[in-house]
Each structure stands twice: as structure tokens, then as C-alpha cells.
Amino acid sequence: MDQITDFLSTYSCNLTYEDLDPEVVPHIKRTNF
């Protein structure tokens, strides 16, 4: 894996709802598969 891909995959895998703006959480939960 190249460095950018590794960084982005690590970042996205470690995101939690607490990291997001409270206004977007309901939208994400609604579209989450």
C-alpha cells in the first residue's frame, strides 16, 4: 500500500460518530449500509 492509501484507510477506519459534527450524524446513520 502506498503512504496516502495507508493514511486514508487508517483514518477512515478509526473515525467514530463522536469525531463528526452532530448535525451530520443522523444523515450518516440513515445512509450507513
pLDDT at 24: 86
CA-based nearest residue to 25, from 16, 8, 13: 16
pLDDT at 2 over 70: yes
Tell me the C-alpha to C-alpha distance, in Å, between residue 21 and each of 2, 4, 17, 28, 32: 29, 24, 8, 11, 16
Domain housing 6? 1-33
Residue whose C-alpha cell reads 459534527 in the numeric block: 21
pLDDT band at residue 6 under the 50/70/90 scheme? very high
Per-residue pLDDT tens over the stretch 8-33: 999 989 988 788 888 988 887 777 65
pLDDT of residue 33: 57
- Of 12, 17, 18, the closest CA to residue 28 belongs to 17
Are 9 and 1 in contact by the 8 Å Cβ rule? The answer is yes
What is the count of structural domains for the chain?
A: 1
